[in-house]
Each structure stands twice: as C-alpha cells, then as structure tokens.
Structure 1
C-alpha cells in the first residue's frame, strides 16, 4: 500500500476536519474529493495496480467525524440505514456477489476483464474467474454505501442544507476552472501540473478529435469530465429552477452547459439532449410547478446562448463545418466506429452474464461493461436491478410537487433538485460506465435528497397535502426552517 501525495494532503485536511472541523467543512472536503475521479489517494500494487480514490479516502475521515464524541451524530445512524434501505441492500448484495459470483459461475462464460492483458485485443475474452478487481469492486460498493450514510447524517444536521448548496457551488466552479486550465495549458510546459493528478491506473484516451481539443480537466478522459460536469450542471439548473441561490446557480448552469457542449464527449451530447427533453416536457405538463418567470427566463437564456453561438460561427467561417463534423462523429457515427463497436461488445457481456448466472449475477468486477445498467444486470442480477430501481424511485419521489418544481420549504425544494440531479447523473453512466458502482456524486446527492425530505417533515407540522404546494416567491438558502406560502 502506497500513500500518494494526494493522500498525504488528505491526511492533513482529514485530521483537521475530525478534530476541529464543522459539518460544512466535512461536506466541502467530501465533495471536493469527489472531483478527482481519475486520481489515487492510495495505490495497491498487490491488487493488480488497483487504487483507492480520494473520495473514498476522505470518507474515512468524515466517518470518524460522525463517530467523534463531540459530534453527537451516531444517533442518526439507524435512521440513515433505514431510510436508505434499498441502497444498503443493493450494496450488501453486490459485496456478497463480488466474492461468491465468480466462484459459483467460474468458467461458465468468457468475459472481457476489468484490467485486460494488452495481448487480448479489443474483443478478446478470458474464462470467468475470481480476480483482484472483484475485491476492489466490493470495496467501492462499501464506499458508495458509506457515502450515502454519511451524506444523510450530515444533511440532517441544522444549517447543513445551506452549507451543501455552497459546497456544490464551490465544486462547480472548481470543475469549470480545471477544465479551462486544461485547455489553456495544453501543449505547454504547464500541462504537467494537471497531469500529476491523473495518477490512478486509468488509460488516457485521445486528447483531440476533428481538430478540437478534448476537455479533461484533472480527469483521464473527456467522457469522465463530461459525466461529472453533467451531474453538476443538472444540480445547478434544478436549484436555479427552484430559486435556490439563483444568481450563482443560474450562471454556473449556463457555463457548465457551454463547457459540456465543447467537451467533444458523446456522453455529454446524449445527456444534454435527455435533460432538454425532460425540461421541455416538465414545462408542458407542470407549468405551474416553477416559480413565476422561470420558464420565460429559461427560454430567453437558451435563445441568448443560441445567438452567441451563431455569432461565433459567423466570425470563424470554418467553425460551422468543424462543429457539424464533430457532432456527427460523436453521435450518429459513433456506433459504426471501432470504439462504438467495442462498447456494444462490452455492454452485451452484461446480458450474457445475466443469463449464464440464472439472474443472480457473476459479481461486480468480474467483467468490463460500457453501461451501468448492463453492468448491474450481469454483476448483480435481478436483485441488483430491483433494489437499485426502488432506490431511484425513493430518491426522485415523483408523487411530490417538489420533484417537479419548488417545494413548500427550502429543504423540500433542495431535495427535489438533488433528487433530479442524482437520477440524471446516471445518464452518462448508462452509456459509458464500465462497472456497476454508481458515482460518488450520485451517492451523495441521492442520499441528501432523502435526508432533506425527512428533515423537512420533522420540522413542519403542515399536512402532506399542503406540504406539496409550491411557494410563489424566491427561496433563499438561509431560510432553513421553511416558510409558509
């Protein structure tokens, strides 16, 4: 086990958080660590070069903060487990099958492993058998489960909801700035400053396509940067839609949308299209769910971005053709490409593993997929699909008004925004994730949404029927106790 320089920095910050930090500092520490998905805090050479990412390492210190005698948060642990029961069952079953699956069904099928031998080629396979990646996947699932519990407990603490909004705004700015720094330093001596953060065992893919520089930030590839940026984009867009710190969240949503457009990642284009359809359908079906004037401002903003793009395209004559070629290559032409064929081959492994294991799953880490859906299907079978689906239903809470617009209290509105963001953060994972473990941001935002609804219910004596009515004014993050319409 080797502690990297990132891990050393986290040890210092983590100790400060445990002994002197507040809930706000713990939330910021956890969320900032989640930005470094392509980094390693600890390298494990004995497990085939596997690593522990910064967010999982930060989780160790935030868990200690919960257990610290001065915190007084341990009493919330039973309710955190109970309210996240479907996610807990999902993680526990995944950890169990990570050990049992490849042993029960070893040799039954051939799979493309998570860490293949270069001699295999793009479509080579090996017989299913236990590997160090099964242990790593089990640890990641345990980390996802603990991230959800930690997020829930922190969000049940007074003043934590406002701190969570500020932390999300902060990491959104950091994500944008690392992307811009990546573009500005590409090809210069300063490029190595960002590359030191890509110290995990991930392959760095093409840095440019169709003449465009691919935006990676501190992550190994453009699709990873786009997937993380899309989750933050939806979180900010949904908070703006519900008038939560609207100036900051509206500006961030606009900037993230632009940087996603120029990220050259096909996952970004598909995800933006999916959210755009959802936004349009919501406006048609639930026009009164949004605070007054939001739909008009959203339409005006979209028109303004379109005009700005038209001006840019007019100034640079070659740009329209380059953009057209880029979008066609990364969307329509993607399935016919070598990478598209390889992704389809990886995705189909989940279906074959599902059938070969009689719906039980061959265990997380047993094979490489290209979609979290087929990865869960093949790794954790029917039980994994059902428990994860029930968790998503609980996170979104489509029967509540706050799922579609502003809620009756600040907590309800923020819960609706984060629940929507958590669900939509799975769109990039559904078309690009190699494994069955949801992202750290999903675990944090999904559990926060559940916790905030519980916090709102405990603070208000208003009947459920009235609690689902939306207010008609702006909601400030400082209104922690809720207000009546």
Structure 2
C-alpha cells in the first residue's frame, strides 16, 4: 500500500471538511470525483481514486448523525431504489467470485485491462481476473455513495448541499478542460503529472488533425466527453428552470462548446441527443409556474438553429470546414483500428452472455465497449433487471410539486444521469458509472422534508431567480 502525494492532500482536505460543514464535504467529494486519471492510493496493483478515498469522509459525516444514519438504512427498504442497487451489488460481488470459477473455460473473454490485439491477437478462456476484486469494490462504493447522499438530501440544507457538490463537479470538470488545453499549447503538461499518476493507459497528448483532444482530468477524451454530457444535462436543465441562471447558463454553454471541440465521437454523437432532451424539457417546463426562461428557449431555439444553418450554407468555406471536422471525428472513425477493436469487444462480450445462458461471466471479468453489453456480459439478466429497477425507481418514480425547487433539481439530476448513461452506452467497458452518476441519482431520488421551500442564494454573486415554491 502506497499513499501518493495527491492522496495525502485528499486526506488532509477530507479531515478539514469533516471538521467543517456537510456542504464542504460534498463540494470536496464533487471535486475529488472529477479526478478520473488520478490515483490517491495504490493497493497492490489496484488504483484507489481520490473520489473513493474522499467518500469515506462523507460517509463518516453522514452516518455520524442519527437522522441521516436511520434514513440511509430506510433507503434499503424494498420500495426504495437503494434496495435494487444493493441487490445488484450483492449479485455482482457474488458473480465476481463464483462465476469465473464455476464456469471456467466455458467461453473466451477479452479480459478487462487487455486488448484482443495483445498476446498475438487472442482472447483467453474464462478465468478469475484481478478486476473481479476492483470492480466489486467500485460497485460497493457506488452503493455507499448513493445511500449516504440520499440520507443527506432528506433535509433542506442537505439537499442544497448535494446540489452544491454536483455543481462543484461541473465547474471542476470544465476548469480542468481549460487547464488541459492551456498546458498542452504552452508545453507545460508536466504540471498535471500529479493528477495523471494512475496505472491506466493515458491518451492525454492525442491530437486529431492538429487539434488537441480534450481529456481534462480523465485518461482520454471519450471519458471527458461522457462526463461533460452529464454536466450539460444537469446545468442546462437548471438554467431552463430558472435556477441560478448566471451560473448554470454559463456552465451549460461551456459544456456545449467543450463537447463540440473535444474531438470525441462520444461528445459529438451525444450532444444532439442531449439538445433534443433539453428542448423537450423546455417545452414541458414552459407550461408550469415560473417557466419564462424555458418559454423563451422554446420560441428562440428553432429560429436560432435555422439562422445558423442558413449562415453555414451561405458560407461554403465554413460549411466545408464543419463537414470535414464531422467526417474526421465521426464518420471516418468508424473504420479506424480503435473502432474495429471496440466492435470486436462488444461482439465477444455478447457471445459471453449467450455462452453462459444469460448468467454472465462475472462482474469485472470481461471488457466491452458499451454499458448495455457490459451489463449483460458480466452480470447477465439478473443484474440487468436489478439495475433497471434501480434506474426506474431513482430517476422516474419520484414526483413533486410542479415548479418547486426540489422538483426542478430532481429533473436536472435525472437529465444529468441520462447524459452520463448515454455516454456509457457509447463507450463504457464496464458497469461502474462513477460517483458523479450516483450523486445525481441520489439527488433525483431524494425527497427533502418541506418540499415547497424556496432555495437560498447558492453562491454570492450568482443569486439567480428565486421562484415561488
């Protein structure tokens, strides 16, 4: 076991937040969760990320209070989404231990952490791998994160604290993207080595046609784009609901620009879907109390889109540049070695699902290139059913008073989760969706007492509009 310098800083900040307020702890967790390319603690060959290390301090802060501790336990009741997530975690951990041993050699897998083009291009027979343990730990950490955040968000103060935490994630995600670009073009990439120390394959220096692929605080551009889809969904929805419009509107615009210029096919393919989702959200929100911002967007967005299209069509040079960029990042990439390899991962993983008759090869055993395929290949039909029940319960069952602050925030959290899930469907090799996803899912599932309250100003200088509850 070896504690890295960034891990020491994480511990010190965690202790400071623990001695401060729950808001500080959640903001710290949000920022720590962004550091996807960092390792705070090496345990053998496993990476413990700063977010998972910091999660321990949040759990202590939450469960040291009697009300939050009892709420976390109640979140495991069968009528709560936490119950189904716990079922997924239990089944996933059991499958990681038993399935690769009981079904050893019955199918060939692309072992997690390898490529089918390594080892002379061959797969390996089903067998236990080290990632069975690491993915089990991640899934348990996600469950703990969900339960702790749900418990905190049951009070008005805690609900706003969680919102601050996820907005801190959004701001940090975009800030690291700007730092990534600045250090690359200034030749000072070495200053980010402290947060790119995990034992992953890093693609932080990649370029496309001379353009830097934005990786931000993640190992590669696709991971950054996936994260930014969630940021765009959350902040865009809050802006449409008229909540902290200066802050959320600015973050949403920066997220949209980052997606376009990330040079990631995940970002370019996902952005139009998120725009349609946000427009549908604006259409619904415009019909409710305080929907003036959404109403303006509903009217102005189509006109703006038509104007942009006409402008591009009238300028052949600009039109050609845009066409070449999309061809390079989206269309041409479908025939690249990377795309062929990822397609092969999905084909082999789906065959694993069929070969095991729907049981799966065990959590963390095999690599895919889509969350849906990874879910079926590793935890099979039972795990997919548990996950589906959790997703529906967390994101789509909770209702509230239309136009109230908690209802708007839950809607934003749901759209943020959809953005992350969309990115996962395009590129995720595993079913671990990270702490940010489960913070948003907990926020979407939370039902704070006194739901009709009006939120206080979140950040000095960004008061937004205080809508009637």
| Cα separation, partners in 2 of 1:286 and 1:163, compared to 1, 3 Å | closer
1:201 is matched with 199
Post-superposition offset of 1:311: 8.7
Contact 2:240 2:293 in 1 (8 A): no
Deviation per residue, 1:99-143 (Å, 9 max, x gap)? 112112111111111122797269531111011111111111111
Q: How many residues are aligned here?
A: 458
Contact 2:202 2:220 in 1 (8 A): yes
Distance 1:364 1:246 in 2: 41
Contact 1:195 1:218 in 2 (8 A): no
Post-superposition offset of 1:228: 1.1
1:387 is matched with 386
Distance 1:358 1:116 in 2: 24
2:35 is matched with 36
2:343 is matched with 344
Contact 1:112 1:123 in 2 (8 A): no
1:78 corresponds, among 73, 78, 90, to 73
Contact 1:363 1:380 in 2 (8 A): yes
1:171 is matched with 169
Deviation per residue, 1:291-338 (Å, 9 max, x gap)? 1241323654686699799999999x9765444223112222332221
Helix, strand or coil for the counterpart of 2:431? coil
1:234 is matched with 233
Distance 1:201 1:370 in 2: 20
Post-superposition offset of 1:278: 2.4
Post-superposition offset of 1:423: 2.5
Post-superposition offset of 1:65: 1.8
1:431 corresponds, among 426, 431, 443, to 426
Deviation per residue, 1:160-217 (Å, 9 max, x gap)? 2223333333332222221112112215342111233111122123611122211111
Contact 1:349 1:378 in 2 (8 A): no
1:54 is matched with 50
Contact 2:237 2:281 in 1 (8 A): no
1:464 is matched with none
TM-score (normalizing by structure 2):
0.89
Helix, strand or coil for the counterpart of 1:34? helix
**Is 1:276 the equivalent of 2:272?**
no
For structure 2, the residue ranges without an aligned partner over 5 or more in a row are none
Distance 1:407 1:79 in 2: 26
Which residues in structure 2 correspond to 1:347-362 (within 5 Å)? 347-362=346-361
Q: How large is the RMSD of aligned CA atoms in angstroms?
A: 3.1
1:369 is matched with 368
1:128 is matched with 126
2:8 is matched with 8
| Cα separation, partners in 2 of 1:189 and 1:146, compared to 1, 3 Å | same
Post-superposition offset of 1:364: 1.6
Helix, strand or coil for the counterpart of 2:333? coil
Post-superposition offset of 1:72: 5.1
Distance 1:441 1:133 in 2: 21
Distance 1:476 1:274 in 2: 32
| Cα separation, partners in 2 of 1:280 and 1:335, compared to 1, 3 Å | same
1:450 is matched with 445
Distance 1:320 1:423 in 2: 31
Q: What stretches of structure 1 move > 6 A for 4+ residues in a row?
A: 301-315, 482-485
Post-superposition offset of 1:475: 6.9
Distance 1:319 1:231 in 2: 29
Contact 1:223 1:267 in 2 (8 A): yes
1:264 is matched with 263
Contact 1:6 1:54 in 2 (8 A): yes
Which residues in structure 2 correspond to 1:291-302 (within 5 Å)? 291-297=291-297, 300=300
Distance 1:314 1:121 in 2: 52
1:459 is matched with 450
1:325 is matched with 324
Distance 1:118 1:352 in 2: 15
2:180 is matched with 182
| Cα separation, partners in 2 of 1:144 and 1:99, compared to 1, 3 Å | same
